């Protein structure tokens, strides 16, 4: 076999591998059991993978009371299997196993990330959910009452528009005190040349000084609305496809009755 044939075979193997990944995971999701889990989100930004939301499930923290006495040796880094039962809309943990459960209906496999005297924290490998930019912005925008810079800028812009057409025009043209200082010097020169009259100079000075005062007042007006999240306490719901070996695939993010993906 020559190099070219081998190279073609390698590239074909890469493509087959990727195809295999898609088929494999799609089959697992389709054969998995769909459950709803409750979560509270944190929202970092990942440059390398679009926008993603960090998910912290309610089942990510398990009280030590769910462990049996013979499971006291569980330590950080150990694999753990959390058996779930449906209670109302959501699924909740009922007990844990430190080995693969047999004859158990629904469970999720995780890893103990932290162990305290009261509970243990578990990571299931489904702690992030990727969203489009539009969905991520929508969720972020709906959670906060316009504390972001763009919203504040647009509010200030509206206040300046309310000052009147001429003041707004002066602001948008970038006319400021520095510009006026030069104008003031030039006005004197024009007056000496006889190009402008003292009354005209006085009128110009009055115009710009009052405009600047009004513009400054509008810019420094404090934000009237309270800056706090309005509904950061409303948890999100994640629909997860759970495979028979305990792997969870988050498939839908639901918040305030709307589905995000």
Partner 1 sequence: MISKGWIKKLFKEADSWIREGIMDTTQVARLKDYYAKSLGYNRFISSIYILGAILLGLGLILFIASNWERLGVGFKVGLVFACIAGFNFVGYRYRFEKEYYTRLGQALLFLGAISFGVGIWLIAQIFQFPYNYEDGVLFWILGLLPVVFLVRIPSILILVSILLPIWLGVLIANTPQRIFYPFFLLLALVGYLVYRQKQRSALFFVIVSGGIWITHYLSVRLMELPAWSQTPESLPIFLLYCNLFTAYGFVLYGLGMRHNQHKNFSELSITYKLSALLLIFLSHYALTFVHHTFAGASSRFGDVYLNPAAGIVYVLYLAGWVLSLKRIFKASDPESKREAQGILLFLFLQTLLMAVGACGQRVVSFAYNVLLFAETLGFLYLGYLLRAESIFRLALWVFALNVLARYFDTFWNILPRSLFFILGGILLIGGGIYLERKRKAIEQKMKLNPDGNRD
Alpha helices, H only, 110-197 = 133-143, 149-161, 165-172, 177-193
- Show Cβ contacts of residue 169 under 8 Å, excluding neighbours closer than 6 positions: none
Residues 63-102 that bind partner 1 (CB under 8 A): 75-77
Stretch that binds partner 1, among 42-50, 82-90, 92-100, 219-227 (CB under 8 A): 42-50
Report the distance separating Cα 153 and Cα 137, nearest Å: 17
Q: Residue 45, interface with partner 1 (CB under 8 A)?
A: no
CB of 97 to partner 1, least distance (A): 20
Which residues share a beta bridge with 258? 255
Report the distance separating Cα 180 and Cα 172, nearest Å: 15
| Residues listed for the chain | 261
- Show Cβ contacts of residue 185 under 8 Å, excluding neighbours closer than 6 positions: none
Q: Residue 132, interface with partner 1 (CB under 8 A)?
A: yes
Which x/- pattern over 135-154 shows residues binding partner 1 (rule: CB under 8 A)?
Answer: x-------------------
Query: Total residues at the site for partner 1 (CB under 8 A)?
Result: 40
Residues 15-34 that bind partner 1 (CB under 8 A): 15, 17-18, 21-22, 25-26, 29
Return residues touching partner 1 (CB under 8 A): 3-4, 6-8, 10-11, 13-15, 17-18, 21-22, 25-26, 29, 46, 48-50, 52, 75-77, 111, 125-135, 249-251
């Amino acid at each position: 076999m020559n190099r070219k044939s081998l190279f073609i075979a390698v590239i074909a193997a890469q493509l087959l591998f990727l195809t295999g990944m898609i088929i494999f995971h799609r089959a697992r999701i389709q054969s998995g059991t769909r459950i709803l889990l409750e979560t509270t989100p944190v929202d970092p930004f990942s440059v390398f993978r679009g926008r993603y939301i960090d998910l912290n499930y309610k089942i990510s923290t398990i009280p030590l009371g769910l462990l049996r006495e013979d499971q006291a040796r569980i330590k950080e880094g150990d694999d753990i299997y959390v058996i779930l039962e449906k209670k109302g809309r959501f699924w909740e943990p009922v007990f844990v196993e430190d080995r693969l459960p047999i004859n158990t209906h629904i469970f999720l496999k995780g890893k103990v990330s932290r162990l305290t005297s009261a509970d243990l924290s578990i990571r299931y490998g489904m702690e992030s959910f990727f969203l489009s930019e539009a969905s991520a912005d929508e969720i972020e925008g709906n959670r906060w009452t316009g504390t972001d810079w763009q919203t504040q800028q647009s509010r200030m812009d509206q206040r300046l528009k309310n000052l009147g057409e001429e003041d707004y025009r002066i602001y948008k043209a970038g006319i400021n005190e520095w510009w006026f200082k030069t104008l003031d010097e030039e006005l004197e020169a024009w007056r000496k040349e006889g190009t402008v009259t003292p009354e005209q100079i006085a009128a110009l000075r009055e115009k710009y000084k009052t405009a600047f005062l009004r513009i400054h007042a509008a810019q420094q007006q404090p934000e009237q609305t309270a800056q706090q999240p309005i509904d950061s306490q409303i948890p999100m719901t994640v629909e997860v496809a759970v495979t028979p070996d305990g792997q969870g695939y988050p498939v839908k993010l639901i918040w305030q009755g709307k589905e995000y993906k």
